[in-house]
Amino acid sequence: MKNITVLVSGGGTNLQRIIDCIDSKEISDAKINLIVADRECFGLERAKNHQISHQLIKRGKDFSENLENAIPENTDLIILAGFLSILNKEFCEKFEGKIINIHPALLPKFGGKGMWGNHVHQAVIEAKEQESGATVHFVTSGIDEGEIILQGKVKVDVDENIETLAKKIHQIEYEIFPKAIEKVLRY
């Protein structure tokens, strides 16, 4: 049985997908041992609804250290599922190869500092890209720079706006995230 710790900052629809895929065995032989949020958010409510251990660790001084202390000993994989805090170098190095993130664009394009949420979609639309998508990748201390595990593409239509693109990308995330998790866990 593999133990997964999930970190969230927002609505947690990807977290919900992970919970559902563990239940349906699309992600096999795994359990979530802890959900950590860095702020009050609906992701925490999902943890409560499913009776999964959860903790709120607010940003600020010693954030990465506090987070490191919270990660259970038996954790095999740390998943950032819409997690907006930057993890420090020590944290990334300690868990190297064991942390993955999902990014709402086709990395290495549209990644790095400031490229999160709707900022990403806006940049993609402004650049008149014909496609975008989502990337699941390993986390290293360089923002959005770790090895790519899986990508899924969507077409960017000429009349696309931030909301429609965000919606499409969420759909592709729900497809690739469980697959990427299964791949990493069974590697």
| Whole-number Å distance between alpha carbons of 123 and 42 | 27
Name the residue number minimizing CB distance to ligand GRF.
82
Identified binder of ligand GRF from the candidate list 2, 7, 14, 133, rule CB under 6 A: 14
12 scored as a contact of ligand GRF (CB under 6 A): yes
82 scored as a contact of ligand GRF (CB under 6 A): yes
Identified binder of ligand GRF from the candidate list 18, 57, 81, 87, rule CB under 6 A: 81
Evaluate whether 152 touches 175 at the Cβ level (below 8 Å). yes
Q: Which long-range contacts (CB under 8 A, 24 or more apart) does 129-132 make?
A: 129/156, 130/155, 130/156, 131/106, 131/155, 131/156, 132/104, 132/105, 132/106, 132/156, 132/165, 132/169
Identified binder of ligand GRF from the candidate list 3, 10, 164, 183, rule CB under 6 A: 10
> Judging by DSSP bridges, how do beta strands 131-138 and 77-80 pair with one another?
unpaired
CB of 102: closest distance to ligand GRF in angstroms? 4
* Binders in 151-180 for ligand GRF, by CB under 6 A: 170, 173
Is 170 assigned a catalytic role?
no
User: Where does this chain bind ligand GRF (CB under 6 A)?
Assistant: 10-14, 81-82, 102-104, 134, 170, 173
